[in-house]
Structures are given as structure tokens and as C-alpha cells.
């Protein structure tokens, strides 16, 4: 896999016009794009359909978390959109995740299409130990991530969404085939609402498959240059940079 293919650009913008502007400034570089709640609520599924039709891989990041029947129905509709990746909260439980997997498999088979990769969200990158305790979780973030990761694997998920800080532990426990998709990529020393972060180089070396990157690229003065620097970090981490 090429370094650029490992980048999923987060289109966390207020409308489709803004998303198109970001993509125009970034160029064809990223291997895929992430459509999350902000753009989806603002513009609905139409941008997703257009992105898929243009040949882009789309990660639909709506983090489904509801009763199994509701999540199964939403998953079926996501499969119809042709997305490559789809996520749901592991904390929704085994039955919910299995209902999503069954729905995705059934709908993909009915359409003669590839099933999206189902990713279980573990612990949000904005949460630290103190924030978890406020919700009644007494485990450390890493312990909770590993607990939910094991549950996700047992439920048949293709991988997880987890912070960079837990990548190495997940990779050690799950092996090479289990997907790890990682937000929370920041420059060294950067500070914002993301608590458990690493640089792109560190995350790839720890074992991440894909990096979800938004603000460090789309808020940069030169998004194309910011993306190129990110790809160079990945190439360096994988030993594929130019000599």
C-alpha cells in the first residue's frame, strides 16, 4: 500500500461547498476521505454518493450506537452508498455489532458488491483516564480499549478505531490482519481537544493501518503541502522514502 493510500482526509466542514474547496486545495493525494457527522447532517448522503462515484474511498464516520435493529437498518443504508469503511461504537455491545455485520453482509451480497470494512470505535481520542472515570469506567484508557477491541473481534468486526496511544498494544494482541484506523494525529507538541495523540511517523511505526487526519491538513495555510509532509512522514516510517 502506498503511503498516501494510508491517509483518510477528514472532511469535517460545514457544507458540501466547503468540502469541495478542501479537496480542490489538497488535490488527489489522500487515499480516501472521511465523512463525519458535521457534513452528513448538513448535506445528507448526497456528498457521499458523489465522492464514491468519483472513485474516492469513503469512510462513513457516523459512529452508530443504538439498539441492534436500528443499527442494522442504518448499516444497510450505508452499504447502499458504496462506502469502503463504516464505524459503530464497540460499547454498543456484541449483539449490536453482530446485527450490523449481518446487515452489511446481506445487503452487500444482495447488491453483488463488496461489504464495507466494519470498524468498532473503542475510546474517543478526546477522553483521558479522568474523563473515563466520570462515565463510570474505572479502567485505564488502554485497558478499556483492549477490552472493547477483543469484544469487537469476537463480534466479527474487521478492525477498530483507536487512539495512537493504544496502537502497539492492539497490534500485539490482535496480530497483523486486524485493521487499526487512527485519528488523533498531531505534530509533536501540538495541543487541542485531542488528549491521546502521536505524530504520523510514530503512529505508523506503532502499527496503524490508516490515519484519519483533518485539522492538521485542512486548516493549514497550504493543505497540499501539509498533506505532502504527512505522506513523507509515513514513507519515512515505513522505510519507503527516497534516499
Catalytic residues, by residue number, are 63
Instruction: Give the distance from CA 70 to its chain's centroid.
Output: 21
| Integer CA distances (angstroms), 171 to 72, 168, 177, in order | 28, 5, 9
Strand partners, 212: 8
DSSP string covering 125-141: TT--HHHHHHTT--S-H
DSSP 32: E
The residue among 161, 175, 173 whose CA lies nearest residue 211 is 161
Spell out a b/e string for 79-114, using b for 16 or more CB atoms within 10 Å of the CB, else e: bebbbbbbbbbbbbeeebbbbbbebbeebbeeeeee
**Rounded distance between C-alpha atoms, residue 154 and residue 130, angstroms:** 28
Amino acid at each position: 500500500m502506498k503511503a498516501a493510500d494510508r491517509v483518510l482526509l477528514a472532511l469535517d466542514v460545514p457544507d458540501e461547498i466547503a468540502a469541495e474547496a478542501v479537496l480542490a486545495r489538497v488535490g488527489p493525494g489522500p487515499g480516501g476521505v472521511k465523512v463525519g457527522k458535521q457534513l452528513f447532517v448538513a448535506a445528507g448522503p448526497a456528498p457521499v454518493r458523489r465522492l464514491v462515484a468519483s472513485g474516492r474511498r469513503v469512510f462513513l464516520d457516523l459512529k452508530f450506537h443504538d439498539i441492534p435493529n436500528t443499527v442494522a437498518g442504518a448499516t444497510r443504508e450505508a452499504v447502499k452508498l458504496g462506502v469502503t469503511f463504516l464505524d459503530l461504537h464497540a460499547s454498543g455491545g456484541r449483539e449490536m455489532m453482530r446485527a450490523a455485520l449481518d446487515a452489511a453482509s446481506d445487503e452487500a451480497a444482495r447488491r453483488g458488491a463488496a461489504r464495507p470494512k466494519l470498524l468498532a470505535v473503542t475510546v474517543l481520542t478526546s477522553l483521558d483516564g479522568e474523563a473515563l472515570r466520570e462515565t463510570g469506567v474505572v479502567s485505564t484508557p488502554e485497558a478499556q480499549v483492549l477490552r472493547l477491541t477483543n469484544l469487537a473481534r469476537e463480534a466479527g468486526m474487521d478492525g477498530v478505531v483507536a487512539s495512537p496511544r493504544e496502537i502497539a498494544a492492539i497490534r500485539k494482541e490482535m496480530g497483523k490482519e486486524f485493521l487499526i484506523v487512527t485519528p488523533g494525529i498531531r505534530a509533536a507538541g501540538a495541543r487541542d481537544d485531542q488528549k491521546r495523540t502521536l505524530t504520523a511517523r510514530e503512529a505508523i511505526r506503532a502499527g496503524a493501518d490508516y490515519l484519519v487526519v483533518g485539522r492538521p491538513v485542512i486548516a493549514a495555510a497550504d493543505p497540499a503541502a501539509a498533506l505532502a509532509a504527512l505522506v513523507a512522514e509515513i514513507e519515512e516510517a515505513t522505510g519507503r522514502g527516497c534516499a
